[in-house]
Amino acid sequence: MMYVLQVRPGYEEAAVRLIADKGYTAMCPTEEIYIRSQGQWHKRLKLVFTQYIFVECELTDESYYNIRSVFGVVRFLGFGSPEPLKADEQEYIRLLWNKGKPIEASKIYTTLSGDKMVLSGILREYRDNIVSLDLRQRRAKVSVTLLGKPYTITFPVISI
């Protein structure tokens, strides 16, 4: 089962390492985004979910207190008690985690009629959930649900 943990700001990656050292699978999805600075585009790494990490484990009293005792962990998310993510939400997170590698920009092609086609990248998996696509800012916003709440995630895109 996969659970969501809230962590202190800036401690996401450290908490993932410490939880992994205890023998649990912990995930903190990252992405390569493009930032325009001094007239040029630069790649930067950014967390997909700030202040949240994801842990796969069978939750027992022992594992709960082992994970909860990690410095930076604030709490497990859930309604009163830790609540696991649904199967489709777990697939979202595994896809976003990308086996520990940052998500690269999806390639977008604009046809002569102005239609936009997603050629490659993670956006192909979310093409039905696209909320907005801004090629000038090199960003696409996608809607997903986690623990029953809707979230908007921003993905990097490149126009080719």
Phi then psi for 130, rounded to 5 degrees? -70, 125
pLDDT for residue 3 is more than 90: yes
AA identity, residue 46: K
pLDDT for residue 145 is more than 90: no
pLDDT of residue 31: 92
pLDDT of residue 78: 84
Phi then psi for 127, rounded to 5 degrees? -60, -25
pTM for the model: 0.84
* pLDDT per residue as tens digits for the range 62-113: 999 999 999 999 999 988 789 999 998 998 899 889 888 999 999 999 888 8
